[in-house]
Amino acid sequence: MAASFEDNSTGQPKDDALKSTAPARTEPEEDNDNDDDDSQEEDDDDEEEEEDDDEDEQPPLTRQARMQSDRAKMEALFRRLSTERVPVRVHDVLIKGNAKTKDSLIEAEVEALKTATTVQELLQAAGIANARLQRLEIFDSVNITLDSGPPELPGTANVVVEVVEAKNPLSGDFGIFSKPEARSWSLEGSVKLKNLFGYGDLWDGSLAYGWDQTSEISAGLSLPRFKGLMTPLMARISLLSQDWSKFSSYKERALGFSLGLLSSRNHDLSYNLSWRTLSDPSQISSRTVRRQLGHGLLSTLKYTFKVDRRNSPLRPTQGYAFVSTSQLGGLVPDYRSLRFLRQEFDLRYAFPLGLLNAALNFGISSGVVFPWGNGFLNRPSYLPERFFLGGNSSPVCTLGGPTSILGFKSRGLGPAEPRRQVGENSTTESADASSEMDFLGGDFAVTGFADLSFDIPLKVFRDAGIHGHAFACTGSLTSLTENSYREFSLTKFKESFRHSAGFGIIVPTKLFRMEVNYCYILKKHEHDRGKTGVQFSFSSPL
C-alpha cells in the first residue's frame, strides 16, 4: 500500500492531508484527490507495473474493475486510519534533488519524521516538515512521499524528500516599508542571493531612502540553522545616516554591525555594535547638543519579549498585546563606550463593541533611559537614545515604545533649548520662536491613547476596508539625568502631560496605509510644535 502527498510550490500544506484523522465524511474527497495524485505522481513506472501485473500475475481485469478495487483498498485504509492507530516505523529518509544544498540542512528540518510511531503522526509530521522546507525560501518545490519500506520488514515506511532547488539564486525587491528606527516610511530596494553555500544561507543587500532624509545601506546574512542552533542566526552590517537638523540641529551617522542571536515568536535577542557620530554642519545647535557632538561606540544587547493576541495588527478589534524591550549598553569592557540602560513597555487592549464592527482600543506605553557607570548621576543620557515624542504614526498599530501623540509634529514636544543666536537681532519674533528651539528629547516618556474605530455605513467604504476612528491621546516627556531627577515631583509630572483629540478616516491601499485625521490640541506647552488641523500620515500596508 502506498500513500503519497504532493504539496504544490506555493507552500500551502494540504489541510486535508493533515486532517487524515478527521471524520469519515471527508474521506471520499480525499480518496479522489489521492487517487488522482496517485495516478499523476506514480508515472510511467506504475502503469508499466500495472500492465505487467495485468499480464503476468492476475487474471485479466478491466481497467474500471481495477480502479474500483484500488478505491476499495483506499477506503479500507482510511477507515483504519480514522478508527485506530496504525503503527509504523520509519525505516529510512531519502533526500533527492539537492545538488547544492547540504543534506544536513534538509535532514534537520525533517528530523521529526523519524520519531513518528503511527501513520497519523507520520502524516502530520510530513506536512509540517514540508512547510518548514518551503519556509527556507531556497526551493522552488518540495515533495514528501511516504512509501512502504523494504518487503522483508513489515510495518515500516520510507520517506522520500524530493526538492527542486531554485534555479535563479538572485532575486530583487523594491517596496515601500515602514522603519521603526526612522519612525517614518521609506523606499527600499534590496537584492537577495539565496543558498550560496548550500546551508540555506540568504544574503541580501539593501538600500533604503526615507522620508526624512534618512538613508541606509546595509548587507545581511541569515542562516536558518547554524551548527545545531535551534533558531536562525542573522547578521547585518549597515551604514545609516539620519538628518535631524530641523528638529534637533544635528546629523547622525552610524556604522553598525548587528547579530540576531535568538528569534522566536515571543523572544528576540540581538547584539549591536555601532560607531555613531553626531555632527552639526549648520553650526546652530543649542548648548546641550553641542556638548554631545562627537563619536561614540555603542555595544548593546537588546531583548524583546512580545505577546500579541490581537486579532489583527492593523485594525485590532479584540485581544491584547504586551511588549517589553530592554537594552543594555556598554558591554565592552572599555569604560569609554556608551553605557546606558533603556527599558520600554507597551500594553494594548482592544474589545469589540458589536455595532458597525466597532472596537475600542486602549494603549499605554512608557519608557525610561538612564546611564550607568562612574558618575552616572551627573552624566547626561546619550542624545540619540533618548525618547522623542511626536509624529504621525498611528498609536494603534505601532508597538515600538512611546513614540507618537497625534497632532504634534515629529520630535515636537518635550524639553527644548534655544539654538545658537546668530547676528545681533536679539529681538526674537515669537512666531519664529519655536523654530529656533532644539528639541532634546527626554529620559522618561509616557503615552496613552483611546481609540474608537468603526466601519463607515456605506457598502463601498466597507468593501474597500476604509473605516473611521475617533481618538484621544496624551503624553509626557521629562528629563531625569544630570540631576534633574531631584526636581521631579508628581505635580510637575502631571503638569507635563500634553493632550490631543480628534477623528479621522483610514484608507488601506496595497501600497500604503493612509490616515487623514483632524486633530485638536487640548493642551500643549509653550515651545511644542503642535497644530490643530488636518494631518496626513502614511505607513506600511502590512
Partner 1 sequence: MEEVKNGEKLTLVTRKPCFGLPTACPTCLPVYIYLRFAQLPFDVEYNLIYPDSDQIPYVEFGSHVVYNNEKGGVIQSLKDEQTVDLDSDVSGIPEWVSTKAMVESWLAEAVMYELWVGSDGSSAQKIYYSDLPWPIGKCLYFKQIHMVKQLLGITKGNAERREEEIYRRATTAYNALSTRLGEQSFFFENRPTSLDAIFLGHALFTLHALPETSVLRSKLLDHANLVRYAENLKAEFVDADSSSSSASPSQSDPSSSVPKRGPSNWKSNPKSKPKREKTEEEKKFKRRAKYFLVTQLVAVLVFISLLGGSNDAEVEFEDGDDGLDYE
Please state the closest distance from residue 208 (CB atom) to partner 1, in A: 25
Other C-beta atoms lying within 10 Å of the C-beta of residue 186: 20
Question: Cβ distance 265 to 296 under 8 Å?
Answer: no
259 contacts partner 1 (rule: CB under 8 A) = no
> Whose Cβ is closer to partner 1: residue 15's or residue 526's?
526
Q: Is 419 near partner 1 (CB under 8 A)?
A: yes
- State how far the Cα of 336 lies from the Cα of 297, in Å rounded to an integer: 8
Instruction: Give kind and range of the element (H or E) at residue 199.
Output: none
Asked if 420 touches partner 1 (CB under 8 A), the answer is yes
Of the listed pieces 117-125, 214-222, 328-336, 395-403, which binds partner 1 according to CB under 8 A? 328-336
Stretch that binds partner 1, among 168-176, 234-242, 273-281, 506-514 (CB under 8 A): 273-281
The one segment of 44-52, 373-381, 387-395, 500-508 that binds partner 1 by CB under 8 A: 44-52
Please name which of 299, 309, 391, 293 lies closest in space to residue 351, comparing C-alpha atoms.
309
What cell numbers appear for 225 in the block?
Answer: 540553522
Q: Grid coordinates representing 33?
A: 484527490
All cell numbers assigned to 11: 507552500
Binding mask 169-198 for partner 1 (x = CB under 8 A): ------------------------------
The mark string for 285-324 relative to partner 1 (x by CB under 8 A, - otherwise) is: --x--xx-xxxxx---------------------------
Residues 98-117 that bind partner 1 (CB under 8 A): none
Task: Kindly state the smallest distance separating residue 147's Cβ from partner 1, in Å.
Answer: 6
Q: Which one of 22, 61, 86, 95 is in contact with partner 1 (CB under 8 A)?
A: 95
CA 415, CA 492: separation in Å to the nearest integer?
A: 13
80: contact with partner 1 by CB under 8 A: no
Q: Which of 156, 158, 231, 484 binds partner 1 (CB under 8 A)?
A: 158
Indicate the burial class of 423 (C-beta count within 10 angstroms; 0-12, 13-18, 19 or more): exposed
Strand partners, 531: none
Which residue from 137, 147, 212, 455 is in contact with partner 1, where contact means CB under 8 A?
147
Residue that has been written with the C-alpha cell 519608557 in this structure:
367
Nearest C-alpha neighbor of 247 from the set 367, 386, 430: 386
| Region of 19-27, 243-251, 415-423, 508-516 interacting with partner 1 (CB under 8 A) | 415-423
234 φ/ψ sector (left φ>0, alpha ψ -120 to 50, else beta): beta
Task: List the grid coordinates of 55.
Answer: 499480464
Per rule CB under 8 A, count of chain residues that contact partner 1: 35
Work out how close the CB of 418 gets to partner 1 at its nearest, in angstroms, rounded to a whole number: 6
- What the block records as the C-alpha cell of 218 is 546595509
User: Does 96 participate in binding partner 1 (rule CB under 8 A)?
Assistant: yes
For the segment 335-354, give every residue that binds partner 1 (CB under 8 A): 336-337
Contact between 36 and partner 1 per CB under 8 A: no
Q: At what angle do helices 63-83 and 27-41 cross, to 10 degrees?
A: 130
* CB closer to partner 1 out of 42 and 137: 42
CA distance 67 to 6: 20
User: Is residue 49 within the footprint of partner 1 (CB under 8 A)?
Assistant: yes
For 12, half-sphere exposure in the C-beta direction (CA atoms, 13 angstrom radius) is 4
Q: Is 66 in the site for partner 1 (CB under 8 A)?
A: no
Residue appearing with cell numbers 552639526: 280
| 480 phi, psi to nearest 5 deg | -120, -20
Binder to partner 1 among 151, 172, 354, 375 (CB under 8 A)?
Answer: 151
Chain center to CA of 254: 23
Binding partner 1 (rule: CB under 8 A), the pick from 22, 262, 332, 456 is: 332
- Binding site residues, partner 1, CB under 8 A: 1-2, 42, 45-46, 49, 94-96, 147-148, 150-151, 158, 160, 275, 279-280, 283, 287, 290-291, 293-297, 332, 334, 336-337, 418-421
